[in-house]
Chain A
Amino acid sequence: MQVEINVNGKARKAEVEDRTLLVYFLRDTLQLTGTHVGCDTSSCGACTVHLDGVAVKSCTLLAAQADGCSVTTIEGMAKDGEMHPLQEGFRECHGLQCGYCTPGMIMTAADLLKRTPKPSETEIRFALEGNICRCTGYHNIVKAIQWAAENTAAPMLADSHLWTNDVVVEKVVETE
């Protein structure tokens, strides 16, 4: 079947199998390999992206279900060369080591900050319930998210769209 999905602001049209999962559409069809696969059971969160502005596990979603929707991946988080505050926070606080879980962590954290701009440590830890990191012990991930919450200018917080970069659709790009 054919799907058309707005990915990081670009409308992407492609032929996929009915059974194609969104994560493989992103990784294999669009070559957006920042979204990772770490498990088979929707448990680890490495594949987290935003679907219409909400964090979802792209391994548990058909590309067909995302047809007509807007998807933001880690590749879409920096805007005009400016890092997203969470990206800065992870770097600033050493919130990553091997980097494999990091995109999913950032996408989950972006969803959290959108709902709860100044989360407590407990709120952050509960929000990360579905994201597994094997390197950091989460300590610096919690700090990275706190950093982003503290170092985000007020106008940016007011603009809820910023957190997901639901930007204007550009021209349609066909992908084989």
Chain B
Amino acid sequence: MITYPFEYKRASSVAEAVSMLAEGGKALSGGHSLIPSMKLRLNMPDALVDVGRIPELKGISMDGDELVIGAGSTHADIADSQLVKEKLSLFAEGAAHIGDPAVRSRGTIGGSLAHADPSADWPALVLAANATIVVTGPNGERSIPSTDFFTGLFSTALNDDELITKIRVPVSAGSKSTYQKFAQPASRYALVGCAIVKQADGQVSVAFSGVSDAPFRDTDVEKNLNSGQEAGPVGKGQSIMSDNFASEKYRVHLASVYLQRALEAVA
């Protein structure tokens, strides 16, 4: 297995990465979504811009009421972070469910979000947490609300010449959150991943990975729950996936079960 030939470039700063991306190619962070797809020759960029060593992309810190996670943070960085565990346990819990230890040590939150696999775990997590994806491009920085970020199957609002630099996540005292995942037994991606954040006032935000061909916030379910009713059907209006491991019917059923389990976990 070998990728098509490409040119490897290493960026040492965000500015340099952005100027390299302007010439074409794709950003390479941990590479754990991109390299496998390139080996299977499903993806064939002319160039890879390695952003794996850019110091600005690392680090996890608080900025006011927001947790700020550098896009180059690995899943393991986030799963192991005391700060994340304290302020947003959802992210630590969710990150610990991704792949296997070796994948978690290399794969990054930014890379996973940019790849936008509908069965990846991060999409549901950032959606439920109301995170903002901060990106830098030739025209400077812009912030994309997570609800606007995922635009379809493997597609996002990120432009080819932009780089995800950080993820800003509001955290509030007294909130509870959980990520409940039913893993596809071979790949360990989410057949259903349900992330819930419940504010101190009881209002919930609910998001799913693995269910639809794009990750989504289930606004119908949220509306029902937030007005004191039963959750109602999951994934209304979504294009539900069906594959070897779960038919559409079973997936919707699993999503409902996992929603209930998530609600119990934050009760």
* Residues of A bordering B, CB below 8 Å: 1, 17-19, 21, 24, 37, 40-43, 45, 48, 54-57, 59-62, 64-65, 67, 108, 111-112, 127, 129-131
What 1/0 flags go to B120-148 for Cβ under 8 Å of A? 00000000000000000000000000000
A-B contact count (CB 8 A): 84
| B39 proximity list for chain A (CB < 8 A) | 21, 40, 59
Q: With A and B bound together, what is the CA distance between A59 and B106 in angstroms?
A: 12
Nearest opposing residue in chain A for B106, CB measure: A56
When the two chains form their complex, are residues A43 and B187 in contact, meaning their CB atoms are under 8 A apart?
Answer: yes
Question: In the complex, which residues of chain B have a beta carbon less than 8 angstroms from the beta carbon of A42?
Answer: 32, 35-36, 103
Cross-chain contact B102 with A108 (CB below 8 angstroms): yes
Q: Contacts A19-B6, A40-B39: A129 and B32 contacting too (C-beta < 8 A)?
A: no
Q: Which residue of A lies closest to B101 (CB)?
A: A127
The answer to whether B31 and A62 have CB atoms under 8 Å apart is: yes
Expressed in whole angstroms, the Cα–Cα distance for A5 and B100 within the complex equals 25
Nearest-neighbor residue (CB-CB) of B100 within chain A: A130
Kindly list chain B residues whose C-beta atoms are within 8 Å of the C-beta of A43: 186-187
Determine if B199 is an interface residue (Cβ-Cβ < 8 Å): no
Minimum CB–CB distance from A120 to chain B (whole Å) comes to: 15
> Is the pair B52, A19 in contact by a Cβ cutoff of 8 Å?
no
A112 to B105, CA, bound (A): 12
**Can you name 20 A-B residue pairings with CB atoms under 8 Å?**
A1-B8, A18-B6, A18-B48, A19-B2, A19-B5, A21-B39, A40-B39, A42-B32, A42-B35, A43-B187, A45-B100, A45-B102, A54-B105, A56-B105, A56-B106, A60-B36, A61-B31, A108-B101, A111-B105, A129-B188
Q: Is B50 an interface residue (CB 8 A)?
A: yes
B-chain residues with CB within 8 Å of residue A112 when the two chains form the complex: 101
B173 lies within 8 A of chain A by Cβ: no
Using a Cβ–Cβ cut-off of 8 Å, how many residues does chain B contribute to the interface with A? 29
Q: Once the chains bind, are A60 and B8 in contact (CB under 8 Å)?
A: no
Other-chain contact of B102, A19, A21, A55, A65 (Cβ < 8 Å)? A55
Q: Contact check: which of B2, B10, B187 meets A64 at CB < 8 Å?
A: B10
For the complex, what is the distance from the CA of A127 to the CA of B32, rounded to whole Å?
A: 18
Bound-complex Cα distance A67 to B1 (A) = 21
Chain A residues, Cβ within 8 Å of B7: 18
A60 to B187, CA, bound (A): 15
Question: Contacts A41-B36, A60-B31, A60-B32; is A55 near B50 (CB within 8 Å)?
Answer: no
Q: Given the complex, which residues of B lie within 8 Å of A56, measured CB to CB?
A: 102, 105-106
Contacts of B31 in A (CB 8 A): 60-62, 65
Least distance between B93 CB and chain A CB atoms (Å): 14
Chain B residues within 8 Å of A59, by CB: 1, 39
Cβ–Cβ < 8 Å partners of B193 in chain A: none
Contact B100 A60 (CB under 8 A): no
Given A41-B36, A43-B187, A61-B35, A55:B1 Cβ within 8 A:
no
Residues in A neighbouring B103, C-beta threshold 8 A? 42, 57, 130
B215 on interface, CB distance cutoff 8 Å: no
B224 CB to closest chain A CB (Å) equals: 35
Which residues on A sit within 8 Å (CB–CB) of B35?
Answer: 21, 42, 60-62
Q: Are A60 and B5 in contact (CB-based, < 8 A)?
A: no
> Is the pair B8, A62 in contact by a Cβ cutoff of 8 Å?
yes
Chain B residues with CB under 8 Å of A130's CB are 99-103
Please measure, in the bound complex, the distance between the C-alpha atom of A42 and the C-alpha atom of B2, giving whole angstroms.
13
